Structure 1
């Protein structure tokens, strides 16, 4: 019996020594700092414990001249929100006024992020509410010309050029990659982008692998022109100003052939002479094109019919909360956090975790009139890119819990 007790005591001492050694080896992370060297690790304060509320941490990474920074997230767990408005990590190329390579929240781990020079800035912001375990990321260096399985993207400022997924055309693009191309034209010109070949993992909502194109110099959901996947090349895209950002992201599962695209600078007057402005035209696939016009928006704003009578004639039927509502020209551009989908049609729906959202355009900003933060039933049409279009004759009304039962019945209706 004494021998057994001695063995247990000896084992207990060894176990405690091992625990102490592990706790001594565990790295502690501070809120930001200036970091130099060829490689290193950064993490949220307290990782892997819960990060503190109401914090703003900035890490400035500098590697030797002539090299670029490669940042890879090993773990991320921040408050989830489809627009990353509350807790988030921003990554910038450079330390001052650099291009934002991405904003991240939730638990999705992006692929490698590459700076255009030898500096990168990482900023984490948290609000007063929900928190998580934070993030852990490692950085390393690469030569600017390296474009292997992990490296892609960069600044494009020549009058014309091409961009493509890693490994194109020899084999499929790799999993777990993020590429961002920042195209910059002279101030008096715009950017035209065309895809020659396109094959990105197909999903109805482009949730896994996708290409997003943004107006301006950063990845900003409010400035997104479109989100694309599948094997059909997107229609040509034109910037509103002199800059575009093209982001390609692949998750850690299925991959595909990838794509090659081309860009060129065009005269700014092209927008007014050969193209219909994106804020004034709404092309749909199921009926003649809907166009914004003064005459259309001068009609008396009156809701016609009922949910039942408009169900079959509508391309999509959803209930949702208005998250953002921005007026451009005579139209209102809104982001909707979806409560329920009763008829999807060709509406493009994005998903982040359990949260689904979509974008709609109210062609006449005051008809029907919607307010940010309120819930509505939306019934309308969708264009070729899956954006929802709501004209004065479409049906929109405030959504209340009592409407749920009737909508569930209509969901099984054959039209």
Structure 2
């Protein structure tokens, strides 16, 4: 019902009288007046909410594999960010316009952790079928950017029966193949002689968060010699952060690794076993340094290698005891705590508190990834760092001694093996994390055992 107001002697000649509507509710016809302005703004608000709702981006749904042909996009494990399914093989084939290369950057990765990535992993290839593998990745440490040599790249994820983690999310984009900015490096080297170097060399330090892979291919009956002219890569006793790795053969394979190098001393000259080498440079997300320049030369297979000194790395000699391995006899005794906090601290190679991120049982042992809360004694244990988050890999030799659970926090004391992986046997102390232990542990850190 519309009602026009009567004349009002208080209104001036330039004052308009608002149109008033009466809204009547129910049988009692209880009416409430609303001005046209109120109706206008209410309608506008409803239209705005409808527009915003329609434009709000929906979370992408990731399936197992597919063909990706846009110039840029997302690649994610099936069901990301939920736990990825077991016993799957997913293949994504990326194709960008001819004349461009594919750049892949991981934004997140959380797969079952293993030193050799044997169980759950992501493989990245330059090209589709039969392409060069740029790397295999697992755990929680994000690799740097990966660059194909052509306009195609393949991403393959494998999971076994025991899965743990949220999978991965990566971004791909098309780039110009000869761009030498802060992220692009690597490629195929097949001339008789040549050089390769870190990005920005020699003008400034190499950037953080980069992965470069050079594949050197000689004729079938020749081998490859590599010599580093200048070398300055972030120093660490175990080359856990920034480093250069050299592999025999056409792909990155830890079983075929010749050496892993860091520090400021050039590595000794390197000779391949066959006609192919892969050199991988990786920088993490923190400190950087000058970088390096290296030269390679093709040699006949009969080239006398005795004139070359042996390959060395910056890793110093260690006095760590040979780590134990799982055996049924080792795990038979009843599990119980032995000794005090102090005696276990002194007899352990590493001491830390952390939260179990992943845990999987294999061959009677538990392989776990632990997010570190506090590190009291490093002792050679390898630590991965992504931003401010530090993690390490620990093997519990006897899966029920001690019994650990994913998502729980513990005090771990044990021994690091030659690969920097923490190893814990029945004689080592592992207990639930208690804040009251922090003061005592901090005190032990300053004492000499």
TM over 0.5: yes
> d(CA) in 1 for partners of 2:133 and 2:211?
13
- Secondary structure in 2 aligned to 1:212? strand
> d(CA) in 1 for partners of 2:310 and 2:178?
38
> d(CA) in 2 for partners of 1:105 and 1:402?
30
* Paired residues for 1:133-282 under 5 Å: 133-270=166-303, 274=307
Partner of 1:317: 321
Partner of 2:142: 109
Q: CA deviation at 1:166?
A: 0.3
Partner of 1:327: none
Kept in 2, the 8 Å contact 1:320–1:340? The answer is no
Match of 2:67 among 34, 47, 57: 34
Q: CA deviation at 1:239?
A: 0.7
Kept in 1, the 8 Å contact 2:380–2:416? The answer is no
> d(CA) in 2 for partners of 1:15 and 1:187?
67
CA deviations 1:114-147 (Å, max 9, x no partner) are 0001110000111111321111111111111111
> d(CA) in 2 for partners of 1:42 and 1:387?
31
- Secondary structure in 1 aligned to 2:170? strand
Partner of 1:93: 126
CA change 1:378–1:387 in 2 (3 A) is closer
CA change 1:125–1:378 in 2 (3 A) is closer
TM-score of the pair, normalised by structure 2 = 0.62
Q: CA deviation at 1:350?
A: 4.6
CA change 1:155–1:201 in 2 (3 A) is same
CA change 1:164–1:140 in 2 (3 A) is same
Kept in 1, the 8 Å contact 2:269–2:308? The answer is no
> d(CA) in 2 for partners of 1:378 and 1:78?
22
Kept in 2, the 8 Å contact 1:211–1:227? The answer is yes
Partner of 2:87: 54
Kept in 1, the 8 Å contact 2:223–2:271? The answer is yes
CA deviations 1:348-395 (Å, max 9, x no partner) are 8754532279xxxxxxxxxxxxxxxxxxx999xxxxxx999xxxxxxx
Report the RMSD for the aligned CA atoms in angstroms: 4.0
Question: Structure 1 stretches of 5 or more lacking a match?
Answer: 1-10, 287-313, 323-338, 358-376, 380-385, 389-398, 405-411
Aligned: 1:354 with 2:387: no
- Secondary structure in 2 aligned to 1:108? coil
Of structures 1 and 2, the larger Rg is shown by 2
> d(CA) in 2 for partners of 1:67 and 1:400?
52
Question: Structure 2 stretches of 5 or more lacking a match?
Answer: 1-44, 327-346, 351-378, 385-390, 396-414, 430-446
Q: CA deviation at 1:271?
A: 5.2
The number of residue pairs the alignment matches comes to 322
CA change 1:33–1:94 in 2 (3 A) is same
CA change 1:210–1:186 in 2 (3 A) is same
> d(CA) in 2 for partners of 1:85 and 1:271?
36
Q: CA deviation at 1:76?
A: 1.1
> d(CA) in 1 for partners of 2:109 and 2:97?
27
